[in-house]
Structures are given as structure tokens and as C-alpha cells.
Structure 1
Amino acid sequence: MENINWLKEVESRQDALIEDLFRLLKIDSVRDDEKATAEAPVGPGPLAALEEFLTMAQEDGFETKQFGPWAGRVEIGSGDELMGILGHVDVVPAGSGWETDPFEPVIKDNRIYARGSSDDKGPTVAAYFAIKLLRELGVEFNKRVHLIIGTDEESGWQCMDHYFKEAEMPDFGFSPDANFPIINGEKGNVSAIFTFPQVEITTVGYSLVSFKAGLRPNMVPEDAKAVIEGSNIEFIQESFEIFVEQHEDITAESSVSENRIELTVYGKSAHGSTPSKGVNSATYLANFLQKFEFNSTSAGDFVHLLSQLLHLNFNGAKLGVAHHHEVMGDVSMNVGIANFDIEKGGKIDANFRFPEGTDPETMLGQINTAVENFRVNVDMTDGKEPHYVPADDPLVETLLDVYHKQTGFEAHEQSIGGGTYGRLMPRGVAYGALFPDSIDTMHQANEFLALEDLTRATAIYAEAIYRLTR
């Protein structure tokens, strides 16, 4: 096996690899709480994708086990040590701006377009296919291997909470849900929830009837919409047109009906761990609205906090939480959700990814100091602590060596703001499937995975799993 051409072996089976992946991509596996039941606690889609994955593995002759509606695994190998490969089949909402049906995968320009193609159905199927390839080549797995499939990674990770209450924790392993050459450091993850209670409405100023932006805390809002009532609405529309012309990163539209105007700003979605790669429609819309007086004190505070403290504040400096770590990097902040209602008040979910050296309690104190002039309540959600596996760990060294051997590219340790299942294992990392030269479209419209990246990643996973199970 030492001289095998792993990429050639995968390329000769590419049609079968794509067929396996398309089975999963055709399933709309977005979490849907409105359709949640006891049998499908995050909605029918994620459960359907999980069951389809396990059915596919059973048809291929693998042993599988399902853990309620939450998770499942594919099993192979024997031995005392257990290697885990953790992926997920749930996906973020499709959002707008797609040129194809997000759940009817198509291949264009040697790219597979579909929601979940790169996050995380494509990489998870690549890892599965790597195991199937090794078995086909007659490899004996001298350690047990569990390919573990979750259904709630994009939300609360309840699937893994349930799984590890019943199942054994792997001794080591990786999650195919990030970037090569490796992710051996992951920042902590926590959200600050800003709540603006409706306390006073006057007869002076415009009325902010509603403001809506964002789908998930871990996505940069692609579009934001505000409804405003009052006199001289035409002035708002004229000012809005000027504002949009001055900001080339956004597009917009407006409509007027008597004393009411509806404003919509379109930005660019991106993964919440890299907010600077997106264009946040919510903060841009607030940046425009902050020049007007509103008859609601909570509306004024909502708009001004969004504009003054959160707009383009990717490292949290305006909130006092900026912090740098030599290995793990900087704090990052994404305003993922911002909603306001004239009768109920407002709510903002700002999601933070933080390195070692700070923590949610410290950050909450810093934020409260920064917002002391606003009528707002701030609470921190339950969070995830930073995770780091040293560069000299044999797991990290082996994975980096395989990557370098197959690509010829420099192999080095990395930390990210995104959170992967790799952090659940004490000796767990993230490993691919995007390469340094890949185009990252995770959480964006027209998400795709290049065919070349799919085959390259599958070949790397095959050799990595082979070497890690010797």
C-alpha cells in the first residue's frame, strides 16, 4: 500500500463517488423547528438525510447503528483504539440568490452546485468513500473506525450531546468540515444577545414598524428589511438612494405607499466565523437609519447600537472585547440576527469566536461597559471553549505529512474561528475538505464543491485513514 496512487484510485471511481454524494444533496436537510416532532426533533429533513446515509452504507455492506433521530455511525475495523471521523448532514437555509435549485445538484464547469456540497455533505461522503475504497483494496483496519454522522451541527449540536451520552468517545480523529492542511486549533464560540425592551413611544419622529435581518447567528445576513411610517416619507427614499450610491458593496430597493416606506438592503452572505468576507445587510441598513429620529426609544437604541458599535466591527474593538492570541489569532464578531418590532422591541444576536486568553464572562463585562449609554440588556449564551491539539501530536504530524505528500504544498498548523465536531474529541482536529486554492462558498448562495477538490480530498482521506489505523 505504500506505493499506491491514491488519487488515481479515486479518479477511476469518480462516477460512483458523485452518485453517493448526489443521494444526500437531493435532500433538503435544513433544520425546521415548525415541523419538529418527537420523532424528528429538528425537523424531517435532517432525519431523512441521516437515514439515507445509513441506508447507503448498509447497501454497501457496512455495519451501522442509529442513535434515535439524532445521529448514526458506520463501523469498520477491530482493535483496542477507536478512531472517529465526525461529519454532518444538516445544512444552513438556502437563502436567496441561487441560480440553480439548491437541492437539485448539478455539475457546471467541473463544480457540484448544491446546498451542502462543501458544508458538509461533500466532505463527509468523501471520508465515507475513502473508507469504502480501503475496504475494496483489501485493507485490514487494525483499529476500530467510527464514521459518526450528526444532524444538528449548524445549530445547537444536540445531536452530538445525545450521541455521546450513549456512545464511546473516540481516542482520536478528525472532522472533514473545514480546510487543509489542518485545523488543530478552534476558537471558542458564544453569542451576546442584546435585548431592547419597548419602553416609550412619543409623537415625535418616524415610526420604525419593523426591522428584520438574518437567518442564523453563524451566517452574515444577506438581506435586511425595514418598514417605516411617518410624514415626508419621500425624504427618506431620496436619502436612501443617495446612501446606496455611496456604498458600492450593497444593492437595495424601496417602495412607498402613502405614509409608509419599505427599505431592503442586499449584502453578501458568508460564514459567521469570517464576517469580513461578507457584507452585512443589517448593519448597513442601520447605518442609514441612524440619521433619523424615531418615536420609539427602543428603536433609536436598536438602530444606533447596530450602527455605532456593531457596523464593520469585525474584531469587537468598539465593544471592548478585542483580543489577540499568537497561535489562535483575534476575536471575531458577526451580527447574525437583528430584529425589531414596534410593539415588542428589538433583539440582536452577535456571535463571537474567541481565542485563548479571554472568556465569555470577561467579554460580557466589557460589552456592558461599552453599551452603558444604551437602554439595552445583554446576556451571553452557553458557549464552547477554545480547543487546541499541539502541532507535535502524532495525529497532527501524520495528517500534515499525508497532505504534503499528496499535494506538495506546505503543511502547517492552523486555527480558525469556525467550530467543528473535531473539538469534541480530546485529540480531535478538522481536516479538509477545502484547499488553500479552493473558493470558499460555505453558507453562501450558489454553494459549490469543485470536482477536483472532491477527488483530491477523498484520496487524502484514504491515505490518512490507512496510516492512522496501522
Structure 2
Amino acid sequence: MTTINWEKEVDSRKDQLMKDLDDLLRIDSVKDLANKSDEFPVGPGPTKALQKFLEFGERDGFVTKNIENVAGHIEFGDGDETFGILGHVDVVPVGDGWETDPFVPVIKDGKLYARGSSDDKGPVMAAYYGLKIIKELGLPVSKKVRFIVGADEESGWYCMDRYRASETMPDFGFSPDAQFPIINGEKGIASYILSFPDVPKKDGDYVLEEMNSGIAANMVPGDATVKVTVKNGDINEMKAAFEKYIADNKLGGEAQIDGQVITIKLVGKQAHAQNPKAGINSATHLCNFLSDYAFDGKDAAYINNTAKFLHDDYQGKKVGIDHVDETMGELTSSPNMFRYGLGDEPTILTNVRFPKGSGVDKIVEQVKAHVTEAHVEAAPGAQDPHYTPVTDPMVKTFLDTYEKYTGEKGVEKTIGGGTYARLFERGCAYGALFPGREDVMHQANEYMYVEDIYKAAVIYADAIYQLIK
């Protein structure tokens, strides 16, 4: 039997891999519903990134298919079973704090900086080259292989709804959209929305004219802005108190006064909602500061309930939703979207990642019992927990391959993130973030080590071939 030197095969393709990845990263593929059309269902950028990936497949001799410009696949091989790889080419919004242009890839100190470098364009191209090598070597396969790519993974999964409406999903597979050694468990994902339509009017010394914070349901808000009218109070004292608050809490921000109106911006730190402890929630901090002031009725309900029930509570203990599963771990809670005085009913959206034993209906009822002033409802699009046992032969192959190239023990793990792996009956997420590396997905100055991209491609090539040969 011929032994394939996968490291040598990847090494001979490094320049082309990096060129293709550079082309993909230069496409601003943030969801853009303001410019959506029949041609661009979730905006021009995500569709262009999808088309670019399919162009790579056509160039390299794969069979390709585009599903309504929001999803597509490349495939080769034949067999009774289909092995699947599921990735995405859309990215989260950029946000503040970038030191380079997020869509002009830059390599510094061995790190490739760009939005999407680690989530998920870098890992997608590593997995693609693993598959491309198998095809180019003409190795015999016993299964059909399908690499599916979506263009709306970060917000709603409309891409996979459309894909599954017309295509049969593979029998088993993985998503290169998380961490090594493996993610074989994913918590359920849900969001609940608080509003305060029934709070009686009550005059106060301060009026909350506007509050705006959060750019995505699955991101800890990195900055928050409020506009406050001071009817009866010392506006300069408020400004000084805010400056002391951000200094005491090691936060950023500024306050500007215009007559009796003060505009306050507080700067925290963005992070993925699956790990809210990694961020600093600017919105809850700002409400925590404002809760010391006597606001009008609905303003006070919005501010004070946020400070009381949502600030500095990553497990949802204050609203009674905390829960721990022995295998999947603890529930996490992250209030991420705040809108007040911007046209619609003021709302707060909190994103929850829950293990087995909890659920959407249970979460809503528990929150209602605690936040009694609020109207509570579940946001659409909730997903149940997903788990593929460590005894599954596919999981074992992935762990063994990881051990082969790293010398480190492969162990199972559950995360709060939601990957496409949960769309497989037998599915897991596999790479491409290596242990010990900083997780900068969804953050400013996102990057991935160049050597990790190549190493992931080696692992993917070997593991995929073992599962399809």
C-alpha cells in the first residue's frame, strides 16, 4: 500500500493555497440586507464569496452547484454513502478597533490578519486543499464527497434552509469551523427578547432619548452609546461620574455635552457569544452606570432591569436559567442587542447557549418569573443541542489523526458555538483553531497563524482520505 506524505503534498501547494485564500478574504462578505436582491439574497458580498469558492472548484475539476446564490457545493467520487464537509464564507460585521484594513489581508509575525481568516475562510480553504490533494493524486475513494458552503451562517442560516430544501444532506461529516482536537457536542442556541410596553409613565429627572448597542445577536457588544436629556440635575457632574466609572472599571469611552443633552459612549470588548466572559459587555456596563440616576418610567425599567438582571452574569443565574449538564457543561447567557428610541419598541436581545436539560420554552418561562416588568418572548431560529458520541468511528478517526500530527492526546469537547456540524445526523466540528492559540473569532484584528493553516490542511487531507478511501 502506498504511503502518502501529506505534509509534502501540502508544502508543494502552499503558495497557491495562500493566493486563493487571499482572493477570498478580500471579499467583504458581511450580510447586507440593505442591498439584497433576487441575485443577492443576503447582499452582494456573501454571494460573491460563494461564487469565488465555486470558481476554485470548477478550476480544479470538481462538479459544482450553486443553490440560489446563498449556498453551493463541489463534489467528486461515487459510492453508497456521501461524506460531507460544511463551511461558510460569510463573516460577522467588522466593528471598531482594527489596526489594518479587515479586507486587505496582511501577514505580520506569522499571523494572517483579515476578517474571516479564522472564521471561517482560512479553515475552509485548508479543508478544500486537503480534498483537492486527494483528487489531484487520483486516490481511489469508496464514497461520494461533497463540500458544501453557505453564505449566511453567521446570521440565520437561511443558506442552509435553502440548500436542504433542494438537496439531500450527506450521511456524515464535519465542519472546519471550531477547534482541534474535536468538537463533538454543541449546545443549543436560543435568544430571548425583553421589551417594556406596559410600564406606566413616571416622571424622572433624566430622559433616555436613545440607546444603541450591538451589531449581531451572536456577538458581545464592544461599544454602546446613549443620548440623555437632563431635566433636573447637574449634567457636568454626570459627565465626571461617567469618567470616574470607566476609569475604575478600566473601560474606554467619552461623554459630550450639548446644552442639556449628554451623549455617552462606552467602549468594552467584542467577543463571540458562546464565551461571553472573553468580552466586556459595553451595554450592560453603561446601564449599570445609568442605574444610579432617576429616569422616566419606561427608561428606568429598561436601564434598571438590565443592570439588575443582565449585567455581569454569564450563566443567567439572575434570571433563573442557569443549568449544567455533566457532559455538555454549563449554560451561558450574553445580552447582545440593545435598541431604544430608534423607531421601534425598545428591546433587549439576550443570546443563550444551553446544554441538554434546558430548552427555549423553559428559558422564557424562567425569565418571565424573574423580570416581572418585562414582556418576554423567544426570538425565531432556536436550535437544539447536538452530540455525536466519542465512540463513533468517524470521531475516533479524527482524534487519531490529530494525535498523529500533534503528539497531543485527542479528547472530546462541547462548545457553545453553533456550527454546520449539527446539520449532520453524525457530525462534528474539527479544527481549525489549535489548543493554546488565542481565539479571536468575531473580534477586531482577527487572525490565524499561517503555519496553522498549512498544518490543518495536512490533518484534513489525511483524515478525509481515511474516511472515504
What interval of TM-score do these two structures reach, taking the shorter chain for normalisation? over 0.9
CA contact (8 A) 1:299 1:346 kept: no
Once the two structures are superposed, the pairs formed by residues 338-349 of structure 1 within 5 Å of their partners are 338-341=338-341, 344-349=344-349
Q: How many residues align?
A: 466
SS at match of 2:196: strand
Give the counterpart letter for 2:412 in structure 1: E
Give the counterpart letter for 1:275 in structure 2: P
CA contact (8 A) 1:171 1:427 kept: yes
Instruction: Rate the CA distance shift 1:344–1:55 in 2: closer, same or farther, 3 A.
Output: closer
SS at match of 1:10: helix
Offset of residue 138 of structure 1: 2.5
Q: Deviations over 1:88-125 (max 9, x none)?
A: 00000011111111011111111111100100111111
Q: Deviations over 1:115-141 (max 9, x none)?
A: 001001111111111111112222122
Q: CA RMSD in A?
A: 1.3
Once the two structures are superposed, the pairs formed by residues 91-170 of structure 1 within 5 Å of their partners are 91-170=91-170
SS at match of 1:212: strand
SS at match of 1:197: coil
Tell me the equivalent position of 2:377.
Answer: 379
C-alpha distance in structure 2 between counterparts of 1:223 and 1:381, whole Å: 23
SS at match of 2:356: coil
Offset of residue 163 of structure 1: 0.5
The two structures have a TM-score, normalised by structure 1, of 0.97
Task: Compare 226-235 and 452-461 and name the one that shifted more.
Answer: 226-235
Give the counterpart letter for 2:85 in structure 1: I
Tell me the equivalent position of 2:461.
Answer: 462
Aligned: 1:240 with 2:227: no
Instruction: Rate the CA distance shift 1:342–1:77 in 2: closer, same or farther, 3 A.
Output: closer
Give the counterpart letter for 2:191 in structure 1: S
Gaps of 5+ in 2: none
C-alpha distance in structure 2 between counterparts of 1:162 and 1:342, whole Å: 32
CA contact (8 A) 2:226 2:263 kept: yes
Tell me the equivalent position of 1:316.
Answer: 316
Tell me the equivalent position of 1:268.
Answer: 269
Instruction: Rate the CA distance shift 1:200–1:434 in 2: closer, same or farther, 3 A.
Output: same
C-alpha distance in structure 2 between counterparts of 1:6 and 1:45, whole Å: 34
Once the two structures are superposed, the pairs formed by residues 144-293 of structure 1 within 5 Å of their partners are 144-197=144-197, 200-230=200-230, 231=232, 232-248=234-250, 250-293=251-294
Instruction: Rate the CA distance shift 1:198–1:38 in 2: closer, same or farther, 3 A.
Output: farther
CA contact (8 A) 1:198 1:342 kept: no
Offset of residue 204 of structure 1: 2.9
CA contact (8 A) 2:26 2:104 kept: yes
CA contact (8 A) 1:211 1:341 kept: yes
Tell me the equivalent position of 2:64.
Answer: 64
Tell me the equivalent position of 1:412.
Answer: 411
CA contact (8 A) 1:84 1:145 kept: yes
Instruction: Rate the CA distance shift 1:192–1:61 in 2: closer, same or farther, 3 A.
Output: same
Offset of residue 434 of structure 1: 0.3
Give the counterpart letter for 2:409 in structure 1: E
CA contact (8 A) 1:299 1:345 kept: no
Offset of residue 3 of structure 1: 3.8
Q: Deviations over 1:26-68 (max 9, x none)?
A: 0000001111112211111101111111112111222101111
C-alpha distance in structure 1 between counterparts of 2:343 and 2:136, whole Å: 63
C-alpha distance in structure 2 between counterparts of 1:170 and 1:39, whole Å: 27
Tell me the equivalent position of 1:439.
Answer: 438
CA contact (8 A) 2:123 2:176 kept: yes
C-alpha distance in structure 1 between counterparts of 2:360 and 2:412, whole Å: 26
Tell me the equivalent position of 1:16.
Answer: 16
Aligned: 1:52 with 2:55: no
Q: Deviations over 1:387-410 (max 9, x none)?
A: 000110111111111111111111
SS at match of 1:411: coil
SS at match of 2:221: coil
Give the counterpart letter for 1:293 in structure 2: A
C-alpha distance in structure 2 between counterparts of 1:449 and 1:335, whole Å: 27
Offset of residue 455 of structure 1: 0.7
C-alpha distance in structure 2 between counterparts of 1:303 and 1:220, whole Å: 18
Give the counterpart letter for 2:169 in structure 1: M
Instruction: Rate the CA distance shift 1:111–1:244 in 2: closer, same or farther, 3 A.
Output: same
C-alpha distance in structure 1 between counterparts of 2:5 and 2:236, whole Å: 67
C-alpha distance in structure 1 between counterparts of 2:238 and 2:172, whole Å: 58
C-alpha distance in structure 1 between counterparts of 2:266 and 2:245, whole Å: 11
Q: Deviations over 1:174-201 (max 9, x none)?
A: 0000001111100000001111227554
SS at match of 2:347: strand
Task: Compare 174-183 and 232-241 and name the one that shifted more.
Answer: 232-241
The two structures have a TM-score, normalised by structure 2, of 0.97
Offset of residue 320 of structure 1: 0.3
CA contact (8 A) 2:203 2:295 kept: no
Q: Deviations over 1:256-297 (max 9, x none)?
A: 1111111111111111111000011011111100000112x1
SS at match of 2:271: coil
C-alpha distance in structure 2 between counterparts of 1:318 and 1:458, whole Å: 44
Instruction: Rate the CA distance shift 1:81–1:9 in 2: closer, same or farther, 3 A.
Output: same
C-alpha distance in structure 2 between counterparts of 1:146 and 1:37, whole Å: 28
SS at match of 1:410: coil
C-alpha distance in structure 2 between counterparts of 1:270 and 1:204, whole Å: 35
Tell me the equivalent position of 2:362.
Answer: 362
Aligned: 1:43 with 2:55: no
C-alpha distance in structure 1 between counterparts of 2:284 and 2:81, whole Å: 49
C-alpha distance in structure 1 between counterparts of 2:254 and 2:191, whole Å: 30
Offset of residue 343 of structure 1: 6.9
C-alpha distance in structure 1 between counterparts of 2:5 and 2:281, whole Å: 45
Offset of residue 23 of structure 1: 1.2
Aligned: 1:399 with 2:406: no
